[in-house]
């Protein structure tokens, strides 16, 4: 690690490491993603030294969102719901809101140091390398790496972050240099879960290190070799990437491909769900052997619980009364539509009744900073209708099963 000057400067106050691999010197600058000091350090380092390329801890999706505030206008909400990606979009919005709330106190955009690095690189006609893994892939790998109970912890961490309104001292913001934004959002669980820490941090250390090597090799193959590269990363990755750059032996393309793969979803929860549903249907059928009255009562319980809780979930999500009535009608029909979530049907009705406006897409990133904005904005409200409608249906199904089985025992 080399100091740039004898007197304190923004750069010398930041975590910094230099590693040489395959003839390329990589300068790793650790930053906090919501820190003015980090922005100043990026600017000073790029202006003081001559780098051949600038790498940033961004994936293509986050880079486009950072550079284009209107990127959300291109969101195809109906397609997202049809493809089952509503939960992932909601998680991305919650993480973005968490980061922006930290930043708004100090008048600095989240990711400003990454944006500054990219803009300065372009001004100097230097290539910008996007080296981070897609955040959706990271969240999927993290979610599927932990057990059933820890998954609820992850979801709880996201929900809790929406209601966190306490003031954060700037000194505490600087402490984020010791971690990573994703790790900070799930700090309690990341510290206690090795699989979660591996997915959120360690895997990305390996991925970003391999991406640096991959881009360097591409430049070499194109006859424009790079000798000095600046990588602007969250300081929580500094130690891990320093080790990885020096120690990696696998081909970088092969390594990134393996770390980009999404682990297959476990079939156990699906089979458990089908099993529970089969038991409940069997129990309802059995009640008719005790008399038509018992069978009719069991069906009433099934309809009221599944339809009622699905409708309640839609209403809690801010859905229209007709969207809730749709959920009430569709909820009890689950045995006949096992692959069509009640939340998707309710969300489709919600969109037809309250079609999101251009203004909703434009203000989405700002509205979700406050938890109340999730219910005000038509885009995020539709996501809530989908998620809470499904949750209500699942809750109602299990409660109906318990009620029906208790009548038989």
Rounded Cα distance between 165 and 60, Å, is: 30
Mean pLDDT of 259-285: 79
Query: For residue 95, which of 173, 160, 42 has the smallest C-alpha distance?
Result: 160
pLDDT of residue 3: 38
Strands, E, within 160-251: which ranges? 228-234
pLDDT of residue 198: 85
Query: For residue 392, which of 278, 298, 305 has the smallest C-alpha distance?
Result: 305
Q: Running DSSP on this structure, what letter comes out for residue 263?
A: P
pLDDT of residue 300: 93
Mean pLDDT of 230-239: 90
From residue 29, how far is each of 52, 54, 119 by CA, in Å? 15, 11, 17
Rounded Cα distance between 83 and 89, Å, is: 11
pLDDT of residue 9: 55
Q: Model confidence over 267-279: pLDDT tens digits?
A: 666 777 778 788 8
Q: Model confidence at 388, in pLDDT bands (50, 70, 90)?
A: very high
Q: Running DSSP on this structure, what letter comes out for residue 15?
A: -
What residue spans define the domains of the chain?
16-260, 268-408
Distance, CA of 320 to chain centre: 27
Rounded Cα distance between 252 and 254, Å, is: 5
Rounded Cα distance between 143 and 193, Å, is: 12
């Amino acid at each position: 690690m080399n100091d740039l000057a004898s007197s304190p400067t923004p750069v010398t106050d930041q975590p910094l490491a230099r590693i040489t691999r395959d003839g390329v010197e990589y300068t790793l600058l650790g930053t906090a993603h919501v820190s003015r000091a980090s922005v100043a350090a990026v600017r000073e380092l790029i202006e003081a030294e001559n780098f051949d390329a600038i790498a940033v801890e961004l994936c293509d999706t986050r880079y486009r969102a950072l550079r284009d505030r209107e990127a959300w206008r291109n969101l195809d909400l109906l397609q997202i719901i049809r493809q089952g990606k509503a939960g992932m979009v909601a998680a991305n919005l919650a993480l973005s809101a968490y980061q922006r709330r930290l930043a708004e106190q100090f008048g600095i955009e989240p990711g400003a140091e990454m944006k500054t690095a990219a803009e300065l690189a372009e001004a100097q006609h230097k290539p910008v390398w996007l080296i981070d893994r897609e955040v959706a892939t990271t969240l999927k790998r993290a979610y599927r790496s932990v057990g059933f109970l820890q998954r609820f912890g992850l979801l709880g961490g996201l929900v809790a972050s929406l209601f966190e309104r306490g003031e954060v001292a700037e000194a505490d913001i600087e402490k984020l240099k010791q971690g990573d934004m994703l790790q900070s959002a799930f700090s309690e669980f990341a510290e206690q879960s090795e699989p979660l820490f591996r997915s959120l941090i360690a895997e990305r250390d390996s991925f970003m290190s391999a991406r640096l090597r991959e881009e360097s090799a591409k430049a070499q193959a194109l006859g424009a070799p790079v000798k000095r590269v600046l990588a602007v990363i969250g300081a929580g990755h500094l130690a891990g990437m320093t080790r990885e750059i020096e120690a990696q032996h696998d081909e970088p393309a092969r390594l990134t491909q393996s770390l980009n793969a999404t682990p297959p979803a476990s079939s156990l929860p699906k089979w458990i769900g089908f099993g529970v549903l089969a038991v409940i249907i069997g129990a309802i059928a059995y009640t008719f052997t005790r008399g038509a009255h018992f069978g009719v009562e069991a069906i009433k319980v099934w309809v009221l619980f599944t339809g009622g809780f699905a409708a309640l979930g839609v209403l809690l999500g801010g859905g229209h009364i007709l969207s809730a009535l749709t959920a009430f009608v569709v909820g009890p029909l689950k045995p006949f539509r096992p692959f069509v979530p009640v939340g998707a049907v309710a969300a489709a009705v919600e969109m037809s009744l309250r079609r999101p406006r251009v203004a909703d897409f434009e203000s989405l990133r700002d509205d979700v900073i406050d938890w109340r904005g999730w219910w005000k904005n038509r885009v995020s409200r539709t996501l809530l209708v989908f998620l809470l409608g499904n949750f209500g249906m699942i809750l109602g199904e299990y409660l109906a099963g318990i009620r029906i089985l208790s009548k038989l025992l």
